[in-house]
Amino acid sequence: MADLALTDTHDRDAVSASRRQLITRIAIYGILSLFALVYIVPLTVVVMNSFRDQPEIARNGLIAFPQSFGIDAWWSAWDSYCIGGNCEGMKRYFFNSLWMTVPATIISTMLGALNGYVLSKWRFKGSEILFTCMLLGVFMPGQISLMPWAFILGKLGLSNSVVGLVLVHCVQGLSFTTLFCRNYYISVPDDLIKAARIDGAGFWRIFRKIILPLSPPILIVTVIWQFTGIWNEYLFGVVFTSGTQQPITAALVALTAGGTTASAYDVMSAAVLIGALPPLLVYFVGGKYFVRGLTQGAIK
């Protein structure tokens, strides 16, 4: 018995091991495919519906393979669909979002880089405490600051304006951008700064010539983070703006809440996609840098 087991063992183990490996592999791919499906199916439905005719959707139901193809819904959603009595389509709100997101992203990223540079390379008494305080902003839910912002925007005369939203997003984003950049710059050797100081460079010259050229990985991460975050933000948009000043996320809700006419699923699908495209594009273009930037550590 023991002998038999001994002679057999090697072979049997190898076979069962390779079989186990195969099963594991199938299980992994199965589960991954399932999750991928969960994410992709809604997107597919929306994309398909945006190219179907409304009558066909009404006839065959929301989830069905297209029997027709047309891009009218896209034009309508962009240019002429009526939202809250305003028949200009999504384009106004799309540009509202763009004029809000781009400046807010750039300003909050640059300020974050500058903050990170100061907090990591020009420490002063209390700089650690200051940094800890800024970190609180990372954990603070946005709704807490609704009332204070309403007050401040009112005082500044920026209520119901895109500029007001830019200000809100710059400040709200600052804790994240500062955290990202500060943690990245901490791995830049202090000797570089010392060498540059001896070389006669000042605060700004060191920032521009030494720190910024080292920063693309973290700046890409920050920009993607801020862009998608601000573009997709809804709460501030819907609370602080109304009518023609709304960003696209808020306008999308107005679109569905339109009411009297029957729901135009084709136009809604196209509108939703128009609202989703910019962050998707940003991620497609910068996604690989995003992952790389998040995992990349010290600079040699």
Partner 1 sequence: MSALTIRNLRKSFGFVEVLKGINLEARAGEFIALVGPSGCGKSTLLAMIAGLETVTAGEIYIGDRLVNSVAPKDRDIAMVFQSYALYPTMTVRQNMLFGMESRGVPKSQQVEAIARVSALLQIGALLDRKPGQLSGGQRQRVAMGRALVRDPKLFLFDEPLSNLDAKLRVDMRTEIKKLHHRVGKTTVYVTHDQVEAMTLASRIAVMHQGEVQQFDEPQTIYDRPANIFVAGFMGSPAMNFIPAEMTTVDGVDAVSFVGAGGKLVILKLQQPSGMFEKGRKVILGIRPEHLSRHNAEMRGKEGLATLVAPVEVVEPTGAETMAVLRLGELEVVGRFTPDEAPVMGEEMVVSVDMTKACLFDPTTQRLL
Count of residues near partner 1 by CB under 8 A: 18
Within 206-235, which residues bind partner 1 (CB under 8 A)?
Answer: 209-210, 213-214
CB of 300 to partner 1, least distance (A): 7
For residue 212, the tally of other CB atoms under 10 A from its CB is 14
- Of the candidate spans 96-104, 110-118, 189-197, 217-225, the one that interacts with partner 1 by CB under 8 A turns out to be 189-197
Residue 198 phi, psi dihedral angles, 5° rounding: -65, -35
Residue 84 in tokens: 């809250």
CB of 201 to partner 1, least distance (A): 5
Residue number, 155 or 300, with CB nearest to partner 1: 300
Residue number, 163 or 212, with CB nearest to partner 1: 212
**Residue of 102, 114, 192, 276 that binds partner 1 (CB under 8 A):** 192
Q: Does 199 bind partner 1 (CB under 8 A)?
A: yes
For residue 154, the tally of other CB atoms under 10 A from its CB is 13
Q: Does 136 bind partner 1 (CB under 8 A)?
A: no
Rounded Cα distance, 283 and 141, in Å: 25
Rounded Cα distance, 88 and 193, in Å: 54
CB of 207 to partner 1, least distance (A): 13
- Of the candidate spans 1-9, 60-68, 190-198, 272-280, the one that interacts with partner 1 by CB under 8 A turns out to be 190-198
The residues, any chain, with a CB within 8 Å of residue 52's CB and separated by 6 or more, are 66, 67, 68, 69, 70, 73, 266
Q: Does 196 bind partner 1 (CB under 8 A)?
A: yes
Judge contact between 216 and 290, C-beta under 8 A.
Answer: no
Q: Does 191 bind partner 1 (CB under 8 A)?
A: yes
Interface residue list for partner 1 (CB under 8 A): 189, 191-192, 194-201, 205, 209-210, 213-214, 299-300
